[in-house]
A and B are shown apart, each in its own frame.
Chain A
Amino acid sequence: MSDVKFYQADVSKWVKRLGQESLTKALKRMVLIRQFELRAEACYQQGQIGGFFHSYVGQEAIQTAATAAMGKNHWWITTYRCHALALLLGATPNELMAELYGRASGNALGRGGSMHLYTDRMLGGFGIVGGHVPIATGAAFAIKYKKKKDELAVCFLGEGAVVQGAVHESLNLASLWDLPALYVIENNQWGMGTHVKRALAMHPIAEKLAPAYEIESYTLDGMDFVGCYAAFSEIKEKILKDSRPILIEVITERFKGHSISDPGLYRSKDELQAVMKNDPIVHLKELLEKEQWLTEESYKKMEKEAKEKVLEAISFAESSEWPDPLTLEEGVFKDG
């Protein structure tokens, strides 16, 4: 990615501003996401979880930074790779795990599953590549219509979605109508097994695409929490001030397959090893250690706590009731 000009944050300034507490909290969240993903994946392999399962492992810094820097009180929309965002926006590991288990106590009553998770401010988890981007644009429209000055709509999409018409129509409408929308392309390099360079004719994506719609763009290093945090802070202020959309490309790489059933044969073991060396959790941990804000011991404790939370969620899910078949046909339509 030598052709990419990353957003340059003044790291020492931001580290100082964030301080030990905020950075530790962020690391804790990222560790929880990773533990959730890894352990849920193990449950999947034991046959407890079915369907599709898309892991966020490797990409944790991005949504952790976005939610921490911009606050939760916006509309949030993402793809089927949605466990992390739901956790970050306040869904409990228990309700999420129960949803993956298909239980009545699940986040969406066991009806949505891994790809369709929600919170009061998260419109989903959407399963059709690019199909959620107009939804996010509509959330930004609603914010503007209601004249809310302190909210924006944040939409995460993969680089694979960029070739969908829905994305281009959304960017056009958001620009044309001055909507407070932030589109975050998480470029994890792979649209399932197809490398971005075999799928998309423009690189770097945001830098090339945004000017066509007269939108401002940023390119971020998705493995760098502090850099992402700094950028999201700046971008939020810009969007709220100007009521104009912004397009970001965040360069990242997932450590797992597209979904659980993907053996990842398109990457050699050596290549994957190299990718996994660039780990956003390790980077943030090392930064905290350098500042002497974290010891190996306190990190182990953090990991243990996260693991316990997830294990508790697993036993909650396991002991939760299945949905009552009598409720099957309820709730197709809303009463009223």
Chain B
Amino acid sequence: MRIRDSVIVALATAALFNAAGCLKHAEPAKADPLLASYDAEPDWSDSTKMIPLGYQQAQGKRVFYQYCVWCHADATPAGPSNRSNLTPVPPLLNDGGTLNPESDEFMQNIITLGGSAMGKSAMMPPYGRTLSAEEVRSVIAFTRAIAQPPYQPPGRPGSQYSAK
């Protein structure tokens, strides 16, 4: 009887500790409603939704808001956007309908080499000599993260790990 009691007490204590552990994990990292938050981006089509960003995507967000935002968003840190000045109108960065079908290689190339090299508008300048390959990859990762409709990475055919 004694032993059973103490086992129950021990189990209960362990459960309590576990619960405390879970609480500690759930407590910090509340969503930041501000654009200024580096590791989350509001969904452009629904600003109440926050999209959490990993390291690479967050770096992409930083690069995007320095170099790309002026033509690939309707609101910029300075207020107005240059997008409406351009013909053809550049796609919004979250425009999944346009950008999701493009492969990472194509995105990498058009950012690095510019629009004219890829048969698109020459108004898209090449950034390959300004941004590092890593920075370009991070912008693509950010693009994929905020895409609406959401981006589905192409699975390796025949692999059990390919996304369904």
Chain A bound to chain B: no
Q: Which residues of B contact A (CB under 8 A)?
A: none
Q: Which residues of A contact B (CB under 8 A)?
A: none
